Chain A
Amino acid sequence: MGSFGIPLFPEQASTFAKDVDALYLFIVATSAFFALGVSIAAVVFGVIYRRRHAGEIGARIEGNLPLELLWSVIPTMIAMVMFGWGASSYYKMRTPPAETLNVYAVGKQWMWKFQHTEGQREINELHVPVGRAVKVTITSEDVIHSLFFPSFRTKMDAIPGRYTQLWFEASKVGTYHIFCTEYCGTNHSGMIGNVVVMEPAAYQAWLSGGTTEGTLAQRGERLFGELACGTCHLDTGKGRGPSLSNIVGKPVELADGTTVTADEGYLRESIINSQAKIVKGYQPLMPAFQGLVSEDNLVALVEYVKSLSPTATATPAGTAPAAAAPPATPANAPAVGEKK
């Protein structure tokens, strides 16, 4: 879209884009109404009531309570419409559907590293299929970055020390910008890339194009072996560390009596800062891996542990999406249709 040769909107390339643009235009229209209304009133009053002789003074008008109430209440009501609409759009952006394609993003001075569960790794480029919900789990190796897809109208900060998430469903094939929107030092403006939205078939072809490392979970499994995690984390549950089978997405009872849900963030924390949350019935014996495992490898380890909970992971690692028959696909019906 554009006018007079100046583009006004980025491409609408995700399912969020139309809604966000409509909301934006609604606020533009409301703002224009008020801005023009007040400006025109100020100019018209300025002309009509201009001072005609030096000694002229204005009428004595001290105020008007009904008017004050009117221009407090009406803007409040309009603001509440904006709030409600904005909150509902946001809620959708923050709530990924049950069935998603999972990608990991690691920000690093000054590049974006993306890892697909199938094993592909990319730098400053992300390939995704059209019409399928993609969930990106994001972190940073150093300072705060922010992963921004203008054509998808969404962004999320990459924060060192924790995972954040965003999701989108691309709706239009094409290549679009990826920007870093949190200032991160020297080459902040060079931390840009492209998201390539592909037809499902082309995406499949891209996925099967050469990686020698196996899937992300397989890479994690190798690391799991190299770091000797398996000496304590026995499947039987009788090791010095708790069993890692079928824990993801489930509540974990901790030694201090509280309960947490075993999500990606919890798994990551339990590796690098193992003393933070001790599972009930176990001793705090595990060494902290802070600084010993890169964020890329942490992602692989997390993905491996997730693969040990096949019922919880929506897209089982190592399974190409087209081959996986999800039990139910409520939010992304088009994806089902495209599999024919």
Chain B
Amino acid sequence: MLDTLKLPERHYLNNGHGFKSWLLTKDHKRIAIMYLISISVMFLLGGLFAAGVRVELLTPQGDLFLADTYNKFFTMHGVVMVFFFLIPSTPAVLGNFLIPPMIGAKDLAFPRINLLSLYIFWLGAAFFFYALFAGGVDTGWTFYTPFSSFSSNTNVIPTALGAFISGFSSILTGLNFLVTIHRMRAPGLTWFRLPLFVWAHYATSLIQVLGTPVVAITIIMVAVERMFGFGIFDPTRGGDPVLFQHLFWFYSHPAVYIMILPAMGVISEVISTFSRKTIFGYSFVAFSSLAIAVFGFIVWAHHLFVAGISTYSAMVFSFLSFSVAIPSAVKVFNWTATLYKGAISFETPMLYVYGFFGLFLIGGLTGLFLATLGVDIHVHDTYFVVAHFHYIMVGGAIMGYLGGLHFWWPKMTGRMYSEFLSRISAILVFVGFNLTFFPQFILGYMGMPRRYHAYPDEFQVLNVMSSAGAGVLGIGYLLPVIYFLWSLKKGEVAGPNPWGASGMEWQMPSPPPTENFTEQPIVHGEPYEYTPHVAREANLV
């Protein structure tokens, strides 16, 4: 069957050649590809910093780098991964590419603003690279005051401005998605016929638009205090250092949901496709995304349980923090129930989904320890927290992102990658990830604090396990670079719908033409419709 497939003659990749045709494009798909390349570079850079950190921690003594160098490594690892990789990852690449076709549109509502958001992202990254080459920054990605406002003598302002500027890229992308989802749905595509990927991005966009301005203001306040000596956070000038933490986490806690919600959207699409079955409890999965986005805004002070907030407010925020756990649990249960009586196959995207399951479960459940006051006091700011958020932000978000990339790669490029190598990669990522981060839970409960350049001897065994795991994880992440690049020239031609998926994006040719659809699609049925009729049409029988 497959050898009869040919790439379409005309598609978005060959519609115009040369740098100019890319840099001036208004095509959401080309912008997505440019984001893909940009954030892959940033991911590689962030990974190198992480490698430095893990190599240093092989021995208890701080013997590889100077303390200042180590501090810069973990800071730049965090800044790059959070602001320049995770926040744009799934939305800017997969969301950008897929939201218009998923709703039957030719492009986003504001194609020029979409390109602008990419340029703003690059500008923000340029500020970061300036800071990097000027000697780096050592505040931690959290920029806590008053350390960042008067104590650190590194490039705080350029780095902070980099995060500030790239924030606008995130705001504009979110705004674009919101308007697009409201205004550009195909005839017949009601809200409850939207793919759950679109729902997840709708919820994400709300956070991007409502939350990002707060961190932008906060960053400006740090810069103003540092440059002009205004007393905002510095207590010797009448400021309040803890105020910074409230403002910072008001955005940065919801920012975790900017990273994980789109990944959850990917999971819903992939799990339905590879089970050939509609999502169990569609409306519960859709509304749980909104619930996570809303509740995410009222839990920030659990980052401040040991920062001298009152006993009463700590209890209120502990209570509220549990509220986020429930919609997350509801999603997991519904996904599991979707598998029941499915017709399940295990190509690479589905392996990533299973990996996501394992890692997100651990990540989510360990969040309960941190919401529980009595336990949080002990594990706060230890490696327990490091392990927890890596399980969510790497285990959850990146597994989802990679699963999505493997799922839609044939749509984006028209070609298949090596199934064998990609399965190996999915397994290596899963095993390597657990080996890296599971020991850190134990380290944390043992009391090892975060951001330690040197540590007492008794923590060494677990640190060596963690560093060894990071090596495996690194290979797992590098493999896709190889087989994805290979597939561009040599990969089998995929055809429009290699997985037999039901989504509207699979009705386009692969790769799709610039205008996505030659005729305006009209939606008649429900999403995730896998009926014998559909199966015949998709040429699967």
Q: Is the CB of B368 within 8 A of A31?
A: yes
B199 to chain A minimum Cβ distance, whole angstroms, is: 15
Q: Quick one: closest A residue to B327, CB to CB?
A: A72
Within 444-484 of B, Cβ neighbours of A (below 8 Å) are at: 445-447, 449-456, 458, 461-462
A20 interfacial contact with B, CB 8 Å:
yes
Chain B residues in 8 Å Cβ range of A160: 146, 235-236, 241
Chain A residues in 8 Å Cβ range of B446: 7-10, 150
B159 to chain A minimum Cβ distance, whole angstroms, is: 15
Q: Quick one: closest B residue to A41, CB to CB?
A: B336
Give the complex CA separation of A333 and B318 in angstroms. 32
Given A24-B445, A34-B361, A63 and B280 touching (CB < 8 A)?
A: yes
Interface string of A39-65 (1 = CB under 8 A from B): 101100110011110111111111110
A292 to chain B minimum Cβ distance, whole angstroms, is: 11
A180 interfacial contact with B, CB 8 Å:
yes
Chain A residues in 8 Å Cβ range of B227: none
A85 interfacial contact with B, CB 8 Å:
yes
Checking A45, A57, A184, A291 against B531 with a beta-carbon cut-off of 8 angstroms, the contacting residue is A57
A109 interfacial contact with B, CB 8 Å:
yes
Q: Is the CB of A183 within 8 A of B235?
A: no
Identify which of B86-94, B255-263, B376-384 touches chain A.
B376-384
Q: Is the CB of B276 within 8 A of A156?
A: no
Q: Is the CB of B306 within 8 A of A146?
A: yes
B498 to chain A minimum Cβ distance, whole angstroms, is: 12
Q: Quick one: closest B residue to A143, CB to CB?
A: B147
A153 interfacial contact with B, CB 8 Å:
yes
On chain B, which size bracket covers the interface?
A: 35 or more
B287 to chain A minimum Cβ distance, whole angstroms, is: 11
Q: Quick one: closest B residue to A65, CB to CB?
A: B281
Chain B residues in 8 Å Cβ range of A79: 322, 325-326, 368, 371
* B interface SS class: helix
B147, B283, B378, B540 interface centre (most CB from chain A within 10 Å):
B378
Give the complex CA separation of A109 and B372 in angstroms. 31
Give the complex CA separation of A224 and B447 in angstroms. 41
B220 to chain A minimum Cβ distance, whole angstroms, is: 21
Identify which of A126-134, A185-193, A202-210, A249-257 touches chain B.
A185-193
Interface string of B298-325 (1 = CB under 8 A from A): 0000000011100100110011001001
Chain A residues in 8 Å Cβ range of B453: 188-189
Give the complex CA separation of A83 and B318 in angstroms. 7
Q: Is the CB of A144 within 8 A of B450?
A: no
Identify which of A90-98, A229-237, A240-248 touches chain B.
A90-98
Chain A residues in 8 Å Cβ range of B318: 83, 86-87, 90
Given A9-B445, A23-B374, A46 and B280 touching (CB < 8 A)?
A: no
Give the complex CA separation of A128 and B68 in angstroms. 34
Give the complex CA separation of A150 and B146 in angstroms. 25
Q: Is the CB of B540 within 8 A of A54?
A: yes
A29 to chain B minimum Cβ distance, whole angstroms, is: 11
Give the complex CA separation of A16 and B343 in angstroms. 51
Q: Is the CB of A144 within 8 A of B146?
A: yes
Q: Is the CB of B449 within 8 A of A49?
A: no
B496 to chain A minimum Cβ distance, whole angstroms, is: 17
B121 to chain A minimum Cβ distance, whole angstroms, is: 27
Q: Is the CB of A6 within 8 A of B442?
A: yes
Give the complex CA separation of A87 and B375 in angstroms. 10
Given A20-B378, A291-B236, A159 and B307 touching (CB < 8 A)?
A: yes
Chain B residues in 8 Å Cβ range of A5: 461
B30 interfacial contact with A, CB 8 Å:
no
A35 interfacial contact with B, CB 8 Å:
yes
A199 interfacial contact with B, CB 8 Å:
no
Give the complex CA separation of A335 and B344 in angstroms. 65
Chain A residues in 8 Å Cβ range of B540: 54-55
Checking A46, A80, A183 against B344 with a beta-carbon cut-off of 8 angstroms, the contacting residue is A46
Give the complex CA separation of A86 and B376 in angstroms. 9
B113 interfacial contact with A, CB 8 Å:
no
Q: Is the CB of A45 within 8 A of B236?
A: no
Q: Is the CB of A8 within 8 A of B372?
A: no
B341, B345, B368, B372 interface centre (most CB from chain A within 10 Å):
B372
Chain A residues in 8 Å Cβ range of B138: 185-186
B242 to chain A minimum Cβ distance, whole angstroms, is: 6
Checking B147, B236, B340, B445 against A144 with a beta-carbon cut-off of 8 angstroms, the contacting residue is B147
Chain B residues in 8 Å Cβ range of A89: 373-375
Checking A8, A76, A85, A188 against B326 with a beta-carbon cut-off of 8 angstroms, the contacting residue is A76
With A27-B375, A71-B333, A153-B378 given, can you name 20 additional A-B contacts, CB distance below 8 Å? Answer: A10-B445, A19-B374, A31-B362, A45-B336, A46-B354, A49-B343, A52-B343, A55-B536, A62-B281, A63-B282, A63-B284, A71-B329, A82-B368, A82-B371, A88-B374, A89-B374, A160-B235, A162-B308, A181-B380, A186-B138
Please list the residues of chain A having a beta carbon within 8 angstroms of any beta carbon in chain B: 5-10, 19-20, 23-24, 27, 30-31, 34-35, 38-39, 41-42, 45-46, 49-52, 54-64, 67-68, 71-72, 75-76, 79-80, 82-83, 85-91, 93-95, 109, 142-144, 146, 148, 150-151, 153-157, 159-162, 164, 177, 179-190, 192, 273, 290-291
10 A-B pairs whose Cβ atoms sit less than 8 Å apart in the complex = A31-B362, A34-B361, A55-B535, A55-B536, A55-B540, A57-B276, A60-B278, A67-B333, A67-B337, A75-B326
